[in-house]
Amino acid sequence: MKSLIQSVIILTFTALISLTASADAQLEELLSKIDSDIAAKRLSNPAGNNAIEKIWQFKALAPYDQRINSRAYKVGEVYVTLGNKSLAAKKYSQAQIYLDKAWMLAYLTPGLESAQDSLDKVYKSSGRTQVAKKAAPAKKQVAKTNNSAADKAKKQKQLAAAKLAKQKADKQAAERRRLAEQKERRLAKLRAEEAAKAKAAQKLAALEAKRMKAAKIAAQSIEVESKSIADFNLDQNLIDNRETREIRSALSPICKEIIDNEASVVLNTRNKQDYRWLTVRLTLCVRRIDKGFRLRHSHKEVAEGQPSISLHPGRSMSLLQQSRG
């Protein structure tokens, strides 16, 4: 049984090592593919074969592996650069699309906050710019129209459009931050779950190692104690009839040997009832000779044959205490 348990443990640890090596190889291959995608500018296209999809795949497989961070920031920096170029070219919608990708992948990308602030300023000032452009020709007609109701209506409409654009931009920014925080919480939860699993596995391995050590020590102790230093046969009739007075005479010399050798004993009886009765008789016998002596005893059931008491080398502590050492 001991050999079987050791074999199972060895096979389990071998399988764990093999799985770990396989997982590490898979992660290394995935990092290599991500680097190739970044070099080839396959950032979000084509679908199923781009850097961003592989980055999310890596994070799901290894949430604690920090090697992915530099790749995520590298992709984020590319989109920040593209966003700034689109902003300079006044392609504001395209600029926002680029920045959204950076927000989703790595919201701590250097320059992302600054680029978004620049784009938000454009949305905020767009209403005032349009008013200025439209107001120029209106100035020529001031003398004639005297600030007509139509001009006022146009200005109000422009201001309302600018306000709506600002609200939309603020709402989009808030949604981006919410999604980023949601992903971060999800990753944090995955990290916590993986940490809990790793801790549980370590605790289980430690307990198994401790149990194996205790079993080994107990087995060694039992093996040593199995070699008796003396054996004494008993009369089964005295035990069957519970002859207290007669058994006392039979146990007296045995008790003296127990005390003189500071021995522990094994009571070999047909059943536990006989063992318990003999244990009481033997305890009382020992106490009559030395009240300070602590009798250590155990039971071994024998289906046939004469009952007996075997003496074994004494021990200074119990097997349980030895196993905890």
DSSP state letters, 232-279 = EE--HHHHHTT-HHHHHHHHHHHHHHHHHHT-EEEEEESSHHHHHHHH
Q: How far apart are CA 77 and CA 113, in angstroms?
A: 12
Average pLDDT over residues 80-94: 95
Q: Which helix (H) or strand (E) holds 210?
A: helix 149-225
Q: Give me the pLDDT at residue 215, please.
A: 64
Nearest Cα neighbor of 312 from 215, 216, 231, 214 is: 231
Residue 16 has pLDDT above 90, yes or no: no
User: In this structure, what are the phi and psi dihedrals at residue 45, rounded to the nearest 5 degrees?
Assistant: -135, 150
Q: What is the pLDDT of residue 324?
A: 33
pLDDT band at 216 (very low <50, low <70, confident <90, very high): low
For residues 163-170, give the mean pLDDT.
77
Q: Note the pLDDT tens digit of each residue in 234-247.
A: 999 999 999 999 99
- Per-domain residue ranges for the chain? 2-208, 228-323
Q: How many CB atoms lie within 10 A of CB 227?
A: 9
Q: In percent, how much of the chain has pLDDT > 70?
A: 78
Q: Which CATH architecture has domain 228-323?
A: 2-Layer Sandwich (3.30)
Express each pLDDT in 285-295 by its tens digit: 999 999 999 99
> Which one, of 273, 240, 268, 242, lies nearest residue 254 by Cα?
268
Under 8 Å between Cβ of 313 and 263: yes
**Is the separation of the CB atoms in 284 and 266 below 8 Å?**
no
